[in-house]
C-alpha cells in the first residue's frame, strides 16, 4: 500500500527508469497559490550533482501538474504531480542482475514480486521517488503557513561520525567508501495538542512517514536514546507558564503523543549509501558462488546529504494532516 | 483515531479509573483456540508488584471476552476483550490537578480536550491501557504460529545506563529517582518480503505501533544509529545463500522496507518514569506560581521493566497483519 | 472489517447470544453532554414488544458506558457503549442447526468461518447489533445539533405493499407470514458541499452505512428509480436563489456527490423478515434431503417497523463525519 | 477523499479539460499480463460517438502507463494509468459560468471549493473520469480470472422507460430531450463468503463504488424494491444443495452481507443526462434573475448507454479487493 494520511493524503508511484515518478495529494484545500517555481528551491536542495558526495545524475526535475491546479491555485480536487525520468542509463544496472547488491532491495524485491519487479535502478524502491515526497512537502509547507508561523527545518548534523560535515565527506572520498549521517529536524510554531493518545501519536505518524524514506535506520524524539540513561527528575521538563513553555525540552515537544507547544525536535539515523564504490563480495544467485564485484552507476557517497529536505517534506505532510484534523475538533470544544 | 491495522485491526478504548479498559481485534481468522489461560503468562509479565522497581498497584487483569470467541475458539467476528479496573485510588490523583505533572500528558490533554478529559490516573493516556495491547498480542502470536515457527522475543537490555539490570534498579532505589532503559526485540522465522516499499515499510508500521506505547522515545533497526558512523562496505550485509541469509545482520532483517529472511532486530529507548518519587518544581496553573511538589500514587521506578511484553505484543500485531496480507499476494505470483 | 468512518469512526462488535453487543465511537469531540437518558427515546423506538408485528423479545437495553464519558460529558477519547444480552433463549436456535434458515446468513456464515461462527440467534449477523448503531446515532445527532438546526427523520412509508401501515401489518397477521416495507429518510438544515466528487460521494457513504443494516435490499436518492423514466428537462432542478434552493427536489438534495442545500431525501427497501412463521421447505445439510420446517424463536413479522430509527442513526453518523471533515476545509477557503 | 479499497486500492485524479485524467491502482499482484490492447474493448464500449444518443466528443483514450508495468506484466508496484485530454473545447463552457447548469455540480462545487474549482467541462466532477474507472476495471477483471471463471456483465435493460432501447433513444431524439435508464449487472462464478457482516457488507462496498459513478440515483440487489411488497415465504430462497445453490434468487446472490454462491444481481437507476438540448430556465447568479438558456457543448442524450462498462469496472474492482482479502482468511480456516 503506497498511500498515507487521513485528511492530507499521499499516494506515490513510479520507478527509477520508468517514464515518470509522481504523487497524488488528496485533501489539499482549494485556493492555495501554487506554481512550478514554488518547488525549485526544495527540489534543488534534494538534487545531486552539486555538493561533494552527491551523485552526478542530474534530472531537470520540473514538476508537471496533471490535476488539481487551475489558474495558479489549488482547486481542492486531487493534485497529481509527475516528474519525468529523462536522464536514465539502464545499461549500468543490467550487469548486476545476477548479483543482488548488498544493502539494496534487489533480492527481497525479486522474492516478493516473483521476479516481475522493475529492477532497473532499484525500480519502485529507488531514492528517485523522494522527489515526489519533496513535492508533496512543498504543498504541505504552504498549508502549514496558513495555520501560523510554522517553521520546519532539517539539517545534517553529522556525516561519517564527524560533526564537521566537510571533514566527514572528505573521509569518504579518501576511503573511496560511502558514509552515513544524522539529520535533525526542528519545527517551531506548532499549536498544543496535535496527535492522538495511542495509535496516532505524533511520534507514531512522524516515524511512519519517516521510515518511508530509504536508508533511514532509526528515529529519536527529544533526548531520545540518551533519555534511557537519565533520571526522571532530570528528564522531566518543568512547565514554566500557561502557554505550555517548559524550562527544558527533553521531550522534544511531544508528550503523551501530543505536541506540547515547545519546539518539536527529532533526529534520524541515515545508513551509509548501499552503493559504495568499494569492491564487495556477495552471492551470484545464478552461479551460486560468492563473487567480488563493484556497483556501477552514479551514486551518492553520502545519501544523508540529500535527506534533510525529504525529512522536512514528510514531516510537513504529517503536520498538515494533523492541523486539518485539529480544525474539526476545535469547533466543538 | 485509536485504530490501527489493515487486515488485523486494533481499536483500543478505556481510561485508567473508568469501569474497564479494552480492545477490539477485528480481522482475526476463525478457528483459533483461545481461552483466558492463554493470556496469563504475558499479562503476568506486564504486571507490577513483583519485580523490584515496579508499582505495587495490582490488578486481577482477567480478560473478559465480550465477543468473537465461542466454544473456546475465535469465530472470525470482531473480538472484544475488556479488563475491569478494580484497584483504583482516584484520591491520589485529585491533588495534582492544579499542578500538571511534568513529563505527563496532563497539561496537553487538558488543552486538547478543553478540560473535559478524564484526568484520573492519566485517564485514556494511562499505561494501564497497555494491558489491552498485550491481549491483542497474545492473539497475534497465536496467529503467527499458524504461519510457521515465528518467535518474537523482547528483552530489557539496559536500565539506568547499566547493562546489569539489577544494578541499574538499585541505582534508582538508592537515588530515590526513576530511571529509563533500552528494550531489544528479536523475531525469528519470518518469511522474506513482509512490508511494502514506501509508506507501509516494515519499519514504518512497526514504529507506528511502537510509538503507541507510552514512554518510548526512539527506535532503531539493526545497527541503527551506529550505522550513521559506519562505512558502506562495512555496513552492507553480503548475501550468503539463496535462502536470503546474510553474513552479517547490520540491516536487522529489513531491507527496502521488506523483511529479508534474517532475524528482525530493533531496539527502543524508554524514558525514565515521569512519576518520580523525587520532589519536583513546576507551575501551578491555578496560582500561576512555580511550586515544589511530589507526585503521589503508585508508580514504577523503571517503567522499562514492563515494556518488553508490550513491545512483543505490538510487533506481533503488525506482523500478523502483514502475514495476512502476504497471503493474498502469494496466490497470484 | 467492522469499522467505518474517517473522523467520526465506528467499530461494532458482539453476538446475539454472547455476553453483550457494543460499539466504539472514536473521534467524537469532547464536551458534549451525554447520559443514559439521552438514549431512551431512540432505543425505545427500535425495541420490539410494543407495536403490532414486532418480536416479543424485550431487552432492558440500558447503555453502559465503558469509556469516553466523564462527569456526564464526552471526553474526546474513544467512547465505548455496551448493551448486555440478558433475555436470550439459545435453545430455540439449536434446533435449526441442520437446516440453514432461508434468507438468513446461517449457511454462508458457516462456509465463510469454517463452522466456528457463533450461530446462536444469528450470532454476529443478528439484527440485535442494530441497537449499537442506534446508540452511535444518538451521539451523532447531538453532534449534528452543534452545527445547526439539522433534523434527521426516517419514517416507514409502506408496509406489505400498503401505504396504510396498519392495514399492511394486519395483512401479515392474517396471512401468518412476514412482510417487507419502505422507509424514507429526510434531513433538513444541511450546509452545501458535504461529500466528495468520486469515491466519497454523499450517496456512496450513506449507502455504505445503510447496507450495514440487515434486511436492506435497495436505496434510492430523490426521485430515484423513477428518474430513469423521466426526461432531463423534467428531472433537472432549477436553481431559485443564491442559497442554493431549487424549485423542485428531484435530486433529493445531492448533486455531484455533494449536498446542495436542499432537503436530503432517500428511501430504502426492507425485505420481509426472513424468519416467517410459515412452514418452509429447504435443505437439511446433514441428511442432504429437502425438509419442511418452521422457524422457532421470537421474530418480527415486519422488521421494517424497526428500521427508521436505525436508518436515522447511520445517516447521522455519516453526516457527523462529513461535518467534522468540512470544518478543516473551511478554514483555508 | 478520492481513494477506495483495502487491498486493491484506487486513487483517481484529473479534470475534464486538464492535461490528463488518471488512476493509480495500488495492490495489484505482480505477474499479470497487461498491455494497452487489453483496454481497447472496454474503452470502446464506454466511448461516445458511435451509438445513437451518445456525444460526438471522441477521445483517442489510449492508456499511458506511468508505472507498475514492466516487460508487459504488472510489477506489484503502484500502477498508474493516464489518459490525455486532447479533444477539449473549453470555450463551450465559458458561457455558462454565470448560470449554474441544473442537475450539474457547478453551483455546489463553487460553494464547496470557494470558486477555485476547475469549472471547465465539469472539471473533476466530469463523467470523463469514468474512463479511469474502466481502466481499473480492466485490470480487476484480469485479476478475477485468476480466481476462477468469474464473469461480470452489465447491460442497459431500460432507456426512457422503454425495455426496447432503440425505441427509448428514438423517443429522446424526437423529444429533443435527454433520458435516463436502468442498468443491470450480473456476476457469475463467485465463491461463497465474500463480504463482511456489517460495515463491509458486499452491498455496502458495491454501492459505495457504484455511487462514485456520476448520474446514478439508486441501486437494488436481487428483487430489490419489489421485495418490500413480498411475503417472507415467497421471498426466501430455499437452499437446494450443499454448493449453496438456491431454488430462487430473490436475494440476488448476497445474504447477510456475504455472497452465497448464486449469481450476484443488482440494478442501478441512471438519471437523464443533466445537459439536455432543451431550453431551460434557471438562476443567473450574477444578475440574480431567472433566465432561459441552453446548455452548449457535446453531450449524450442518454448517459445510461455508457454506464454498463463503468458499472462492470467498479464491480470488478470491489470483487478483486474482496477476493484478495479472502485469501488471507482461507489459509487459517
Show Cβ contacts of residue C306 under 8 Å, excluding neighbours closer than 6 positions. C45, C46, C47, C48, C54, C127, C130, C300
Residues counted in chain D = 333
Closest CA to A100 of A291, A300, A316: A291
Tell the residue number behind the cell numbers 492519566, with chain if given: B122
DSSP class of C316: H
**Is pLDDT of B298 > 90?**
no
CB of D271 less than 8 A from some CB of C: yes
Chain A hits for D142, Cβ within 8 Å? none
Q: How far is D4 from chain C (nearest CA, A)?
A: 6
DSSP class of D225: G
Cell numbers representing residue C76 in the block: 474526546
Give, in order, the Cα–Cα distances in Å from A228 to each of A183, B71, B215: 20, 45, 10
Question: Please, what is the end-to-end C-alpha distance for chain B in angstroms?
Answer: 35
Confidence (pLDDT) at C86: 85
Domain ranges of chain D: 3-332
Percent of residues, chain D, with pLDDT higher than 70: 92
- Grade residue A296 by pLDDT with cuts at 50, 70 and 90: confident
pLDDT in tens, A162-200: 999 999 999 999 999 999 999 999 999 999 999 999 999
Confidence (pLDDT) at A97: 73
Between β-strands B254-255 and B79-84, what pairing exists: parallel, antiparallel or unpaired? unpaired
* Residues A232-260, mean pLDDT to the nearest whole number: 96
Residue A6 CA to residue A319 CA, distance in Å, equals 11
Mapped onto helix, strand or coil, the DSSP state of residue A229 is helix
Mapped onto helix, strand or coil, the DSSP state of residue C263 is coil
Between β-strands A20-26 and B264-270, what pairing exists: parallel, antiparallel or unpaired? unpaired
Residue D227 CA to residue C179 CA, distance in Å, equals 9
* Residues D52-69, mean pLDDT to the nearest whole number: 83
**A280:B236 CB<8 A:** yes
* Residues D76-92, mean pLDDT to the nearest whole number: 84
**Is pLDDT of B92 > 60?**
no
Residue D99 CA to residue D118 CA, distance in Å, equals 16
* Residues D176-202, mean pLDDT to the nearest whole number: 97
Chain C hits for A6, Cβ within 8 Å? 6-7
Q: What does CATH list as the number for D3-332?
A: 3.60.150.10
Confidence (pLDDT) at D333: 46
Cell numbers representing residue A316 in the block: 510537513
Q: Which of B224-228, B327-331, C106-110, D230-234 has the lowest mean pLDDT?
A: B327-331
What number is the ipTM of this complex?
0.96
Residue A71: exposure state from Cβ atoms within 10 A (0-12, 13-18, ≥19): exposed
Residue B57 CA to residue C329 CA, distance in Å, equals 46
Mutate to test the interface with B, among A100, A123, A228 (most CBs of B within 10 A): A228
Confidence (pLDDT) at C97: 73
Residue B259 CA to residue C254 CA, distance in Å, equals 47
Beta strands in chain D (DSSP E): 3-4, 9-14, 20-26, 64-67, 69-70, 73-74, 79-84, 151-159, 181-188, 216-221, 254-255, 258-259, 264-270, 280-284, 289-293
Closest CA to C309 of C150, C138, C115, C54: C138
Whole-prediction pTM: 0.97
Confidence (pLDDT) at B327: 78
Q: Which of A265-269, B90-94, D81-85 has the lowest mean pLDDT?
A: B90-94
Mapped onto helix, strand or coil, the DSSP state of residue B28 is coil
Residue C47 CA to residue C305 CA, distance in Å, equals 10
What are the per-10-residue average pLDDT scores of chain C (333 residues)? Answer: 93 96 96 96 83 68 97 97 82 69 94 94 94 98 93 97 96 96 98 95 98 98 98 96 96 98 98 94 93 84 96 98 82 51
* Residue A165: alpha-carbon gap to chain centroid: 20
CB interface of B with D, residues 125-154, below 8 Å: 143, 146-147
Confidence (pLDDT) at B333: 47
Confidence (pLDDT) at C333: 46
Residue B174: exposure state from Cβ atoms within 10 A (0-12, 13-18, ≥19): exposed
Q: Which of A31, A77, A329 sits opposite C332 (nearest CB)?
A: A31
Cβ atoms of B75 and B34 within 8 Å: the answer is no
Cβ atoms of C168 and C179 within 8 Å: the answer is yes
Position with higher pLDDT, A331 vs C119: C119
Confidence (pLDDT) at C47: 85
Confidence (pLDDT) at D27: 95
Confidence (pLDDT) at C258: 97
Question: Please, what is the end-to-end C-alpha distance for chain A in angstroms?
Answer: 35
- Grade residue A333 by pLDDT with cuts at 50, 70 and 90: very low
pLDDT in tens, A54-96: 766 666 899 999 999 999 999 999 999 999 998 666 665 565 6
pLDDT in tens, C7-50: 999 999 999 999 999 999 999 999 999 999 999 999 999 986 55
Show Cβ contacts of residue A252 under 8 Å, excluding neighbours closer than 6 positions. A221, A222, A223, A224, A263, A264, A265, A266, B217
Chain B hits for C21, Cβ within 8 Å? 67
**C256:D108 CB<8 A:** yes
Chain A hits for B214, Cβ within 8 Å? 256
Confidence (pLDDT) at D93: 56
Confidence (pLDDT) at C296: 77
Q: How far is B70 from chain A (nearest CA, A)?
A: 29
Amino acid at each position: 500500500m503506497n498511500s498515507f494520511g487521513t485528511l492530507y493524503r499521499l499516494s506515490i508511484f513510479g520507478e527509477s527508469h520508468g517514464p515518470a515518478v509522481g504523487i497524488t495529494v488528496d485533501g489539499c484545500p482549494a485556493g492555495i497559490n501554487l506554481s512550478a517555481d514554488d518547488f525549485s528551491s526544495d527540489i534543488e536542495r534534494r538534487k545531486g550533482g552539486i555538493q561533494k558526495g552527491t551523485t552526478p545524475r542530474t534530472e531537470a526535475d520540473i514538476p508537471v501538474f496533471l490535476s488539481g491546479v487551475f489558474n495558479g491555485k489549488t482547486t481542492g480536487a486531487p493534485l497529481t504531480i509527475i516528474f519525468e525520468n529523462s536522464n536514465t542509463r539502464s545499461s549500468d544496472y543490467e550487469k548486476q542482475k545476477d548479483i543482488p547488491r548488498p544493502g539494496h532491495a534487489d533480492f527481497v524485491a525479486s522474492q516478493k514480486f516473483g521476479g516481475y519487479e522493475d529492477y532497473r535502478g532499484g525500480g519502485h524502491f529507488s531514492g528517485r521517488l523522494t522527489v515526489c515526497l519533496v513535492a508533496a512537502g512543498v504543498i504541505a509547507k504552504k498549508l502549514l503557513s496558513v495555520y501560523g508561523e510554522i517553521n520546519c527545518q532539517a539539517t545534517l548534523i553529522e556525516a561519517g561520525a564527524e560533526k564537521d560535515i566537510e571533514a566527514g565527506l572528505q573521509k569518504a572520498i579518501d576511503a573511496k567508501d560511502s558514509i552515513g549521517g544524522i539529520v535533525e529536524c526542528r519545527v517551531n510554531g506548532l499549536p498544543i495538542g496535535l496527535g492522538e493518545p495511542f495509535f496516532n501519536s505524533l511520534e507514531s505518524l512522524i516515524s511512519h512517514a519517516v521510515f518511508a524514506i530509504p536508508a533511514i535506520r532509526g528515529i529519536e524524539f527529544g533526548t531520545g536514546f540518551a533519555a534511557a540513561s537519565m533520571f526522571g527528575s532530570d528528564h522531566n521538563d518543568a512547565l514554566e507558564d500557561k502557554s505550555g513553555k517548559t524550562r527544558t525540552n527533553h521531550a522534544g515537544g511531544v508528550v503523551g503523543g501530543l505536541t506540547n507547544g515547545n519546539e518539536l525536535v527529532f533526529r534520524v539515523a541515515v545508513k551509509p549509501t548501499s552503493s559504495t564504490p568499494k569492491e564487495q563480495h556477495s552471492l551470484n544467485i545464478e552461479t551460486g558462488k560468492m563473487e567480488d564485484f563493484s556497483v556501477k552507476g552514479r551514486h551518492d557517497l553520502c545519501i544523508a546529504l540529500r535527506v534533510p529536505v525529504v525529512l522536512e517534506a514528510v514531516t510537513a505532510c504529517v503536520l498538515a494532516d494533523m492541523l486539518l484534523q485539529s480544525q474539526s475538533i476545535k469547533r466543538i470544544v
